[in-house]
Every structure is written in C-alpha cells, then in structure tokens.
Amino acid sequence: MTWETIRKDATPGVTPNLADYERTRADFTWSRARAALAGLPGGSGLNMAYEAVDRHAGADRGGKVALRCIGRDDTVSTVTYAELARRTARFANVLRSLGVGRGDVVFTLLGRCPELYTAVLGTLKNASVLCPLFSAFGPDPVEQRLRLGDARVLVTTASLYRRKVADRRPSLPGLAHVLIVGPGSGELPGTLSFDALTAAAPEQFTIPPTSPEDMALLHFTSGTTGAPKGAIHVHEAVVAHHATAAYALDLHSEDVYWCTADPGWVTGMSYGIIAPLVHGVTLVVDEGDYDARRWYRILGEQRVSVWYTAPTALRMLMRTTPRQERHDLPVTYGLSALRFVASVGEPLNPEAVVWGQEVLGLPVHDNWWQTETGCIMVANFAACEIRPGSMGRPLPGVEAAVLERGEDGRALITDGKVTVLEKPGVEGELALRPGWPSMFRGYLNDKERYEAAFADGWYLTGDLARRDEDGWFWFVGRADDVIKSAGHLVGPFEVESALMEHPAVAEAGVIGRPDPVAGNIVKAFVSLRPGTEPTPAMKRELLAFARRRLGPAVAPREIAFDQNLPRTRSGKVMRRLLRARELGLPTGDLSTLEGPA
Ligand code: AMP
C-alpha cells in the first residue's frame, strides 16, 4: 500500500527554524553552528553542562523553569535554571571531594527523577564522564557495563542497588563510590547518601578548562557478537545536539518540551537532557510509567508544545485509545499547545504517521539516528512534506548515502573501496560521511571494532536503506543480527550467553520475531543438555532465569526448544536461518551449514 504524501501549507504557531530545506543545507556549516554556543568563560573550552545550564542561569533566564517534574503520584515540582546551576555545582563539588576527577566515569542507574539531571550535568561540569544505564537492565548487563566502562562512581536508588548491584559489588573493585538517591543508604554497607552529600556541598563551582575533544559521555550499545560496545562522545557533541534539535525538533526557547525516552538510552541523554536545556526550554520530566490517559493528560495539562517519542509508544496509544475518544482527543485533553510531534528509535509505520494527523491533528515526524552518531542524522522537518514510512532527509551538515552491499548484507568493500548507489530505489547499507561534531570518537578499549566501522571515507551504520529519486531515505532493516525490541537495541550474543549459564542449556540462538506493537520481540531457540526434558515447566524456568539476570528490556519473551540448531561449519548458531524459518522466508545460501537445514 502506498500512502499519500502529507503536505504542509503552514506550520501551526511559530516560524520553523528550517523553513527552506535546500537553502539551509547549502548555507550550513558546523563552524557557524559552533558559534551559536557560548564556550566556557575566558575561552577555556567547551563544556556541555555550561551550555545547558550555567549560560542561562548567568544571563537573565535564571528564574525560568528548566525542569517540570511530575511524580508518580502526579505532584508537580519545578526546578529553575538558577537552581539547576546550584544543584549541579554542588554535585560537581561532591565528586571533587571524593577524589573523582577528569575522565573518571560516573554511572547513573536511575529513572527519570530530578536527581538524574543533577548527577548528569554535575558530572559533566567536573569534566568527568557520564555513562547512563537502563533501570530495566538486570544484574548481568549492569555488572558487565560497570566493569567494561571502568566505573568509579554509581548513582542509583536503594532499591535498584539492592536488586541489581549489591551482590556483584565484590567483582567491581574499581567502583569506589555508590551514591544512593533518596532514603536507604544508611542500611546499605559501602554506600553514601547522594542527598546528604549534595546538601552539604558548596554551591559555587568553577568548571575546569574543557577541551571540545574531552570525553563527556559513554553510551553502551550492542553488536551482533561479543561484549557491549562503549561508544565515546566528546563535549563538542553539544554543537550537534543544539543544531539538530533546532532543525529536526524545531525547538524554540519558549517551548515546553517532553521527551519520553528512557534516560539509559542515547536519546534520553542527547534530546532528553542536553539539547533541550541548551535551547533554554522548559522540560517536562515524568517519573511515571507509560499509561495512555496519563500521557494525554500530561500533554494537555503541561501545555507541551514539542513532543519527542517512539514508535512502540505511539502504537500502544493507537491500540489503547478507545475509538469513541479519538475524534475529539485534542479537545478532551486540551492539546492546543501541541505543535510538533517527532519519533525515533525504530521504523515508524505509515499508519502511525497518519494516526497522528487524524487523532492528534499533527502528523508524526520520523527521524533516524543511532548511539554512534550521537545526534539526529535523517529527519522529517516541520516545514517539509512528509512521505509516510520514510525517515526523511539528511540534516544540514550531514551527508548520507546508500552503499552497494555484498552477500553478508553489509557494504561491499573491494580493495578498500565502496560503491555509492546513485540509482534511486536500490537497497544497500546506509552510510554517513564522518565529520559531524557528535560522531563517536571510538569504542572504549576496542580500536579494531571502531576502525571496522569505517570504509573508504564512510561510516557504515549497519542499517539497510534505500533513497528515492527526491532524496528521501527509507529504512529497510538491519544488516546484522541485532534486535530492536520496543526501542531497545538487544545484542543476541548477550542473551545467548545468559541462557547458556543455565545448567540445562547446551546451546542457544536468539532472533527478533516481528511484533505489531514492539516492532520485534526477543525469541530464543534453545537446545537442552542430554537428560533434560523440554517441558513447559523448563520453558518457564528458563524465561524466569533469563529475566532475573538480564531484566525485562533484554530477556527473551519466547523460548522454543530445538535439539538441532542450525550451525555453520565453524560451529556458530545460524541466527539468519532461525529467523528465516520462523518467518517462513527463503533460507538462502546454506553451503556453510554443518547439518541438514
Ligand atoms: P540505538 O543505537 O539503540 O539508538 O539504535 C539505533 C538503531 O535503531 C538504528 O541503527 C536503526 O536500526 C534503529 N532506528 C533508529 N531510528 C530509526 C528509524 N527512524 N527508523 C528505523 N529504524 C531506526
């Protein structure tokens, strides 16, 4: 089915930051984008937290509300830019007093609470490195990332610490300090109270000189094989956060902005914390979980004008909004302030774009990027038509291309050269020309993997796409085996490894099975050790075992027993074949298969 292009005669409310796509692209340079930021006083560099907080607090915007926090019980509290400047200065002083300095890694394992913003921005002020974790991770992924990321400090809550870290602490000798937000640190040996320490710390802090190339953020992401990869981002990334939020999210300083992304995900950081604060907007922070009515209420009561969310959430809204409520939803919930809706993280089905138009009165603007790119790369813009199902066009300052691919699905590299597919409509690997400020600068301690991500002057994204004759990009799928489930990028290897820790499991192969709401769900095929029966009870036990270790965001939702998992001659489980069988697709070339297919 083809969907009609959504044309925009006029955008509601404000003049879009990007009014003319071609002209803005032609005029754009990253150095001009850099000049829109202040830089540290005295020319001592560029620091994300200074741009996000102190710059506003120091000007006449200190009294403006930076955070409007909605508790689980619906109570609303606000934090002004001046107050946020003080809180983050206090936290930077806490770190300094603990001997935590430049380049040391501070992890957060927190939901969306006010202290998250204090911890993140205070860490950046101290020129330390911030690494956020998903609170839906289980103890295995948490421990592994704390170890790989060389954590010195962890900021978390008593409950999360007890459930996910306390037992593993002996295997993390480098983790010098655990700071507990809220009550409970007194009963947990080896922890300190975040609240008591920050309350006692001075509220003056001078940000040390920060080079734009100093490491600022560490984001773990998953690959097809091996351990999670720590993508390194530097302070200069703030230039791209700022520029792309202006163009792709159309942020203006008077906006009330709500980003529903989990703070453990790159979106929760780049566009959940940094970019909106750099723009000086008021940020809505909801501590609660997804609930359709609650979400509509927040959009209405908080007068949200720009909303950045994700396809799974939109699909859940589409499913759970009763038909009779749909036609007058904007009136029922008072959504008159809402003027721009964007989505990221997984393919946005055209139905969801059109649902936005019909039910919210605004189409949903899909955009594309990934942990490694640090900022939005391809987007649908406020002033431009939308082709439902398309990710849009490259941002100003971003060059994207589709590369011819080889048999393994990835870009074909011949003698170090790749081929750009000039002909429209042909599928290949999506590639980006390096040079934008928020491009990752490395995978932590893994130079080889970083280098393998580039070829012939292009960064290879691992995604398959096609470009139409007018330059719109269309997502096709992943070129590798990683799974996008409800927006989470799940590495099959991590799931297989956890399952294989169970004494009954001989081998496991993990794939994504398409799901109408979550995009994909994680499905594991398991072969059991001799003497173990493939009973429903065993299935339940394995599901619970995986969930305990990996957490709900990563654990498989389905398990199937298969004593003859297809393996390559080199012994690796062939996920591609498992997936093809599951979906009833052609199985392709089986010449490397060990046994019968
Ligand atoms: P992450 O690094 O966890 O943000 O995941 C990045 C991956 O999510 C991309 O490489 C894509 O596979 C997928 N993704 C992100 N945005 C989109 C989008 N708009 N459409 C389709 N896939 C997307």
- In this structure, what CATH number is given to the domain that contains residue 428? 2.30.38.10
Q: What burial class does residue 288 get, using C-beta atoms within 10 Å of its C-beta: 0-12 exposed, 13-18 middle, 19+ buried?
A: middle
* Domain identity same for 459 and 503: no
Does one domain contain both 450 and 517? no
> Residue 592 falls within a domain, yes or no?
no
Say yes or no to pLDDT of 488 above 80.
yes
pLDDT at 553 over 80: yes
Mean pLDDT of 99-103: 98
Which whole number is the average pLDDT over 39-59? 95
Domain boundary among 480, 495, 514: 480
Does the beta carbon of 475 sit less than 6 angstroms from any atom of ligand 1? yes
State how far the Cα of 366 lies from the Cα of 424, in Å rounded to an integer: 20
Q: Verify that 523 and 428 share a domain, yes or no.
A: no
In a domain, 391, yes or no: no
The answer to whether residues 344 and 464 belong to one domain is: no
Q: Are residues 455 and 508 in the same domain?
A: no
Is 484 touching ligand 1 by the criterion CB < 6 Å? Answer: yes
Place of tokens 């909303």: 307
CATH at 551: 3.30.300.30
Task: Output the pLDDT for position 595.
Answer: 46
Mean pLDDT of 406-421: 95
Distance CA 230, CA 23 (A): 36
- Whole-Å CA distances, 225 to 221, 222, 509, 575: 12, 8, 12, 12
For the stretch 165-190, pLDDT in tens is 999 999 999 999 999 999 999 999 99
Q: In the numeric block, which tokens belong to residue 349? A: 């089905």
**pTM, 2 dp:** 0.95
How far away, in angstroms, is 89 Cα from ligand 1 center? 34
To test ligand 1's pocket by mutation, which of 475, 483, 554 has the most ligand atoms within 8 angstroms of CB? 475
- The count of structural domains within the chain is 3
Ligand 1 mean position, distance from CA 243 (Å): 20
Ligand 1 atom 19, closest CA: 368
Q: Which of 451, 480, 509 is the last residue of a domain?
A: 480
Same domain, yes or no, for 299 and 406? no
Q: Is residue 597 scored above 50 in pLDDT?
A: no
Residue 447, domain member (yes or no): yes
State the pLDDT at residue 593: 53
Q: Does the pLDDT of residue 2 top 80, yes or no?
A: no
Cβ atoms of 99 and 149 closer than 8 Å: no
What stretches of 156-291 show up as alpha helix (H) in DSSP? 158-164, 194-200, 237-248, 266-269, 275-278
434 and 515 housed in the same domain: no
How far, in Å, from the CA of 387 to the mean position of ligand 1? 18
Parent domain of 103? 21-364
Identify which of 271, 368, 427, 459 to mutate to test ligand 1's pocket (most ligand atoms within 8 A of the CB).
Answer: 368
Determine, yes or no, domain membership for 173. Answer: yes
| 230 in the same domain as 91 | yes
Q: Which of 480, 511, 528 is the last residue of a domain?
A: 480
Residue 464 shares a structural domain with residue 537: no
Which residue has its alpha carbon closest to ligand 1 atom 15? 345
Q: What percent of the chain has pLDDT over 70?
A: 97
Rg, Å, the chain Cα set:
24
Report yes or no on 131 lying in a domain: yes
Same domain, 238 and 184: yes
CATH number of residue 314's parent domain: 3.40.50.12780
12-34 pLDDT tens trace: 678 999 999 999 999 999 999 99
Q: Do 295 and 219 sit in the same domain of this protein?
A: yes
Average pLDDT over residues 526-537: 96
Query: Does the pLDDT at position 572 exceed 90?
Result: no
Work out the number of other CB atoms within 10 angstroms of the CB of residue 66. Answer: 27
Cβ atoms of 390 and 472 within 8 Å: the answer is: yes
Asked whether residue 538 falls in the same domain as residue 474, the answer is: no
pLDDT tops 80 at residue 591 = no
pLDDT of residue 8: 83
Quick check: 115 pLDDT over 50?
Answer: yes
